[in-house]
Amino acid sequence: MRTPRARMVVTLGVMLAVAVGAAPAVSSSAVTGQQSAETGRVHPIDVPGQPTPVEGVDQRLPALSALHRYSAGAQFADEIRAYRSSGQFALDQRAVAEQARAFLATWLVDTCGDTSQAACRPAAVFDIDDTLLSWYVPYSQHDFSLPSGLGAAIVRSCRTPAISATRSLLDAAKSLGASVFLLSGRDEDTRADTEACLRKRGISGWDELVLRSPTQAQLTALEFKTATRARWTKQGWRLAFTIGDQVSDVTGGYVAKGFLLPNPMYLIP
């Protein structure tokens, strides 16, 4: 029997496909109702046409086939809240983060060997929103459809707590010898507030923080993040993984692997 959350995943995928005129890209686990979220297992996610291998809990929303942003809204509020209150949301985040840590440890040995960090130049890439900082509370307070303009106030006031699993992953990446790059679609003019909030939440020690400049305003998240990773690669960095809550965070190439965190709340293509 399909769980309520499995029903939500399938329905969200179908609704998004109807809204944008695209075929729903729902994972096979969602179709069968055998959610990896229920077992905590991370599995490969098929993203057609993308060069980056991706692993995650499941592909809740068809990010690459959709053309517009989307919020889950009040109709799925009860199921999203149940997913979080059950503790499964946090378990899924931890499962993905642990898989990324294990991958990095192996990748560093295979890629760098005895080469020094300075010579090998390994790096790990982290998204910020709903990757390092959680927007669950403000979204839940507004039935998972955030009013226009409220996001800027939330950024200024740092109403986003840290996600412990990915904060620990960031610390582990540094301990393993990788540089840490933060790559966010936030606007450049939020830099001071963003850095202050990250440090307030116990997140520090990153090597570079890239935010969206005014000249990049028209780029999709996928285009912006792919171009940034391409620049890092051309500078000689070897990108081990990129981790985020959107498919647009973790695909596009110029990185060994993408790790997709769960986010049933919204879509950013």
Collapsed DSSP state (helix, strand, coil) of residue 235: coil
Q: Where are the alpha helices (DSSP H) in 126-186?
A: 136-141, 150-157, 164-176
pLDDT of residue 37: 38
Of 33 and 85, the one with more pLDDT:
85
Of the pLDDT bands very low, low, confident and very high (cuts 50, 70, 90), residue 65 is low
CATH architecture for segment(s) 4-267 = 3-Layer(aba) Sandwich (3.40)
Span 223-254, pLDDT tens digits: 999 999 999 999 999 999 999 999 999 999 99
pLDDT for 108 beyond 90: yes
pLDDT of residue 24: 32
Q: Of 167, 173, 184, which Cα lies nearest the Cα of 240? A: 173
> Are 238 and 178 contacting, i.e. CB atoms less than 8 angstroms apart?
no
pLDDT for 21 beyond 80: no
pLDDT for 31 beyond 60: no
| Phi, psi dihedral angles at 124 (to 5 degrees) | -120, 140
Note the pTM of the prediction, 2 decimals: 0.86
pLDDT of residue 15: 33
pLDDT of residue 235: 98
Please give the share of the chain, as a percent, with pLDDT higher than 90: 73
- How confident is the model over 190-217, as a mean pLDDT? 98
pLDDT of residue 60: 55
Please state, in angstroms and as integers, the Cα–Cα distance from residue 195 to each residue in 104, 187, 202, 215, following that order.
25, 13, 11, 21
Count CA within 13 A, CB hemisphere, residue 256. 16
Ranges of each domain in the chain: 4-267
Please give the share of the chain, as a percent, with pLDDT higher than 70: 81
pLDDT for 46 beyond 90: no
